[in-house]
């Protein structure tokens, strides 16, 4: 229990260290520094920095030494390699913000949900949504065009994208993924769909800035697509990145995807890598963390208005079952070497 209390406290303090840039500043030093130098470099108040260093030192993240009776602090490089912005793909520091942000946004509403069974609407989560968008953007920029798309059907999708096809990205948010695709494949036409008009406004602004002419956006509830006559059989390829597990009507959304695909159409659903049976997740290296993110966000947003409330850990078996229920003929589940958090569910209509 003492470890649990300490680790919870350390997560919170690390989130503050990451957000304020203290880790990045300390990472630039080659030798131990005193509080004054660290605070000056970071542009922060020394008394707050001192208290924070108390946490980092007792947590054995920062090393403490003494010079002329003064405390000196050093962040070893092997720690900086994992918790600073320079760490790139290995940066786990950024994830320390997730639980504190969810606590700020939704703790009271989620506790109320335990009594009422009601969901929690997206407007509770502006800071968390912005944070998740930044993470997703960074990931799409690194892997979508160079790694993910070439992995789909042994580059067959890339060949078709080069030749010119119709593509829809569902739950596109501010359009990062679909804009990257539209830029890379000018012969193809793209549509991004999202229920959030704010997100689509931003996506349209970015598209205008980049002068892309092969890309449109629509504000639509994806759960209504299955009844949309104009869009029936319109697309060769549909993508949904991290956009299905928190739907209130996920089966309707998947039926809608099937409805808007051509007969030879393909669907790439990228969603969380987990098993549907809790007993099979016992050795998941981030089980408690991911179930907590689900409890605090994915489940409550999926329960709004009597929604299905799949939760983030709905798992591959349930996902495959639902894709088959949505009448996809072939469903392949593919592991993603560049993204161990997710699985690629590749479906043929
Ligand atoms: C976790 S975000 C994923 C964003 C994006 N695909 C990415 O990878 O960065 C999920 C998105 O789905 C959108 N969404 C949720 N329910 C929706 C619905 N019923 N119809 C369309 N979009 C929806 C949300 O507004 C949000 O932008």
Looking at CATH, the fold of the domain delimited by 98-348 is given as Rossmann fold (3.40.50)
Within 10 A of 8 (CB to CB), how many other CB atoms are there?
A: 11
- Which residue, by CA, sits nearest to atom 9 of ligand 1? 136
- The answer to whether the CB of 192 is under 6 A from ligand 1 is no
Per-residue pLDDT reduced to its tens digit, 320-332 = 999 999 999 999 9
Report how far apart, in Å, the C-alpha atoms of 269 and of each of 95, 141, 148, 183, 289 are: 23, 18, 12, 21, 23
Residues of the chain with CATH 3.40.50.150: 98-348
Within 10 A of 169 (CB to CB), how many other CB atoms are there?
A: 28
Model confidence band, residue 103 (pLDDT cutoffs 50, 70, 90): very high
Report how far apart, in Å, the C-alpha atoms of 14 and of each of 10, 135, 151, 244 are: 6, 17, 36, 31
Identify the pLDDT of residue 340: 85
Largest CA-CA distance found in the chain, in angstroms, rounded = 78
Identify the pLDDT of residue 204: 96
Q: CA torsion 268→173→272→233, rounded to 10°? A: -20
Reference 89, options 337, 313, 334, 312; nearest CA is 337
Q: What number of CA atoms fall less than 13 Å from residue 64's CA on the CB side?
A: 13
- State yes or no: pLDDT of 130 exceeds 90: no
Model confidence band, residue 259 (pLDDT cutoffs 50, 70, 90): very high
Q: Quick one: CA dihedral 329, 299, 16, 74, positive or negative?
A: negative
Q: Which atom of ligand 1 is nearest to the CA of 171?
A: 12
Please give the CATH number for the structural domain made up of 2-88: 1.10.10.10
Identify the pLDDT of residue 117: 97
Asked if residue 33 lies in contact with residue 73, where contact means CB atoms within 8 angstroms, the answer is: yes
- The answer to whether the CB of 298 is under 6 A from ligand 1 is no
Give me ligand 1 centre to Cα 157, in Å. 23
- State yes or no: pLDDT of 132 exceeds 90: no
Q: Quick one: CA dihedral 309, 314, 319, 325, positive or negative?
A: negative
- State yes or no: pLDDT of 134 exceeds 90: no
Reference 333, options 275, 253, 249; nearest CA is 275
- Which residue, by CA, sits nearest to atom 17 of ligand 1? 195
Per-residue pLDDT reduced to its tens digit, 159-206 = 999 999 999 999 999 999 999 999 999 999 999 999 999 899 999 999
Report how far apart, in Å, the C-alpha atoms of 253 and of each of 123, 195, 221, 267 are: 21, 12, 9, 12
Reference 346, options 325, 323, 327, 326; nearest CA is 323
- The answer to whether the CB of 183 is under 6 A from ligand 1 is no
| Averaged confidence pLDDT in the chain | 96
Give the residue-averaged pLDDT of 49-70. 97
Model confidence band, residue 23 (pLDDT cutoffs 50, 70, 90): very high
Asked if residue 160 lies in contact with residue 185, where contact means CB atoms within 8 angstroms, the answer is: no
- State yes or no: pLDDT of 133 exceeds 90: no
Length of the chain as a residue count = 349
Identify the pLDDT of residue 135: 87
Residues 6+ apart with CB under 8 A from 190: 167, 168, 169, 178, 181, 182, 214, 215, 216
Tell me the C-alpha distance between 128 and 110, whole Å.
15
- State yes or no: pLDDT of 88 exceeds 90: no
- The answer to whether the CB of 196 is under 6 A from ligand 1 is yes
Give me ligand 1 centre to Cα 3, in Å. 37
Model confidence band, residue 77 (pLDDT cutoffs 50, 70, 90): very high
Per-residue pLDDT reduced to its tens digit, 262-303 = 999 999 999 999 999 999 999 999 999 999 999 999 999 999
Model confidence band, residue 136 (pLDDT cutoffs 50, 70, 90): confident
What value, to the nearest 5°, has the Cα angle with vertex 192 and ends 187 and 198?
Answer: 140
- State yes or no: pLDDT of 109 exceeds 90: yes
Model confidence band, residue 339 (pLDDT cutoffs 50, 70, 90): confident
This prediction has a pTM of 0.93
**Which residues sit opposite 194 in a β-bridge?**
219
**For residues 339 and 19, which has the higher predicted lDDT (pLDDT)?**
19
Report how far apart, in Å, the C-alpha atoms of 200 and of each of 11, 196, 205, 253 are: 34, 6, 9, 19
Asked if residue 228 lies in contact with residue 255, where contact means CB atoms within 8 angstroms, the answer is: no
Residues of the chain with CATH 1.10.10.10: 2-88
- Residue among 125, 173, 299 to mutate when testing ligand 1 (max atoms within 8 A of CB): 173
Give the residue-averaged pLDDT of 41-59. 98
């Amino acid at each position: 229990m003492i470890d649990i209390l300490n680790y919870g406290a350390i997560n919170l303090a690390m989130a503050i260290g990451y957000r304020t840039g203290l880790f990045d500043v300390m990472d630039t030093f080659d030798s131990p520094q005193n509080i004054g130098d660290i605070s000056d470099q970071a542009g922060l108040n020394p008394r707050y920095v001192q208290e924070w260093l108390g946490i980092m030192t007792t947590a054995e993240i920062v090393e403490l030494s003494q010079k002329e009776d003064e405390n000196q602090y050093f962040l070893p490089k092997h720690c900086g390699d994992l918790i600073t912005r320079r760490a790139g793909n290995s940066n786990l520091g950024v994830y320390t913000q997730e639980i504190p942000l969810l606590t700020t946004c939704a703790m009271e509403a989620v506790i109320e949900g335990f009594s009422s069974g009601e969901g929690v609407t997206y407007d509770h989560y502006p800071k968390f949504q912005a944070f998740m968008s930044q993470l997703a953007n960074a990931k799409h920029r690194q892997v979508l065009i160079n790694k993910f798309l070439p992995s789909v059907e042994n580059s067959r999708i890339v060949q078709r994208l080069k030749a010119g096809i119709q593509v829809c990205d569902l739950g596109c948010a501010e359009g990062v993924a679909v804009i990257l695709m539209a830029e890379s494949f000018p012969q193809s036409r793209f549509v991004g769909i999202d229920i959030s008009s704010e997100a689509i406004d931003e996506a349209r602004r970015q598209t205008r800035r980049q002068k892309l002419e092969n890309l449109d956006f629509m504000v639509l509830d994806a759960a209504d697509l299955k009844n949309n006559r104009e869009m029936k059989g319109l697309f060769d390829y549909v993508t949904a990145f991290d956009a299905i597990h928190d739907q209130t009507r996920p089966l309707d959304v998947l039926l809608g995807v099937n409805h808007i695909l051509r007969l030879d159409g393909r669907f790439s659903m990228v969603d969380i890598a987990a098993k549907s049976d809790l007993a099979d997740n016992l050795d998941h290296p981030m089980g408690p963390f991911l179930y907590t993110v689900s409890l605090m966000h994915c489940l409550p947003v999926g329960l709004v208005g009597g929604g299905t409330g799949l939760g983030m850990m709905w798992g591959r078996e349930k996902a495959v079952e639902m894709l088959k229920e949505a009448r996809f003929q072939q469903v392949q589940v593919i592991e993603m070497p560049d993204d161990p958090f997710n699985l690629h569910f590749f479906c043929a209509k």
